Structure 1
């Protein structure tokens, strides 16, 4: 049995999460000397995706459009349509000049190399 207050808390959490992410969920991870961001963009035409980097702020915008069908009347329309936006604050250690983007199977994958100066390196110790 779900109590009214439990339902309110669950609903608030779901709507808060949806509003915070703008409908686009992401994973961010580092693999070796490369940083990756995978953003779910199902039903988005890759030509509508706009990616910008301004002072280490990465912004991804895309448009999800419901196709116009003459004579069709939707009884249920739950899939979100319209502009989807995500912003990510990037570290100074990422080389955004070499950022690569690929859209495949509804997922936008951004590949950003780590700068040379941020890579782990071994320091030699000299004897006095």
Structure 2
């Protein structure tokens, strides 16, 4: 049976209150690839869509949004866990993405960025051409297409 340590419990509570990850500050995100697109889904509940600002600078996308309090200013708070204010998050994009074709949609409190893979970065097949030129036994080039370069001596290759 473990003994109760009030100092350990106080430290645990203090760490829970003061430790904040980027996701807990107001913009948690999921990022995944589906087909030829990367998709970022960023939770922005309670954000007015007109406050969402997305900027592209080089290979960095910056997303800013503002959540304003929806409670009267004279409210007496008992607990306040929902952050208000301006939030920002940056994504550094790699090469091979069509940054000029990024699209954004805000629906049901989720901002969805769709980032397509550039055509030049997509896998592709390279067709193998087949020619009918071949070497005969003597090492001479024989062209089966027009017959002009075929060897007329079959004994030359056997003597070597």
Please tell me the TM-score bracket, short chain as reference: 0.7 to 0.9
**TM superposition shift of 1:125:** 3.0
Aligned pairs for 1:1-128 (under 5 A) are: 4=8, 8=12, 11=15, 15-18=19-22, 22-69=25-72, 71-127=74-130
Q: How many residues end up aligned between the 2 structures? A: 124
- Asked which structure has the greater CA Rg, the reply is 2
TM-score by length of 1: 0.81
Secondary structure of 1:42's partner?
coil
> Structure 1 residues 21, 79: CA separation in 2 closer, same or farther (over 3 Å shift)?
closer
How big is the shift at 1:114?
A: 0.9
Tell me the secondary structure at the aligned position of residue 53 of structure 1: strand
Listed as ranges, the gaps of 5+ residues in structure 2 are 132-160
Structure number with the bigger relative contact order (C-alpha 8 A, sep ≥ 6) is: 1
Unaligned runs of 5+ in 1: none
SS of the aligned residue for 1:52 comes to strand
Deviation per CA, 1:25-78: give whole Å up to 9, x if none. Answer: 111111111111100111111110000110110110000110252643323222
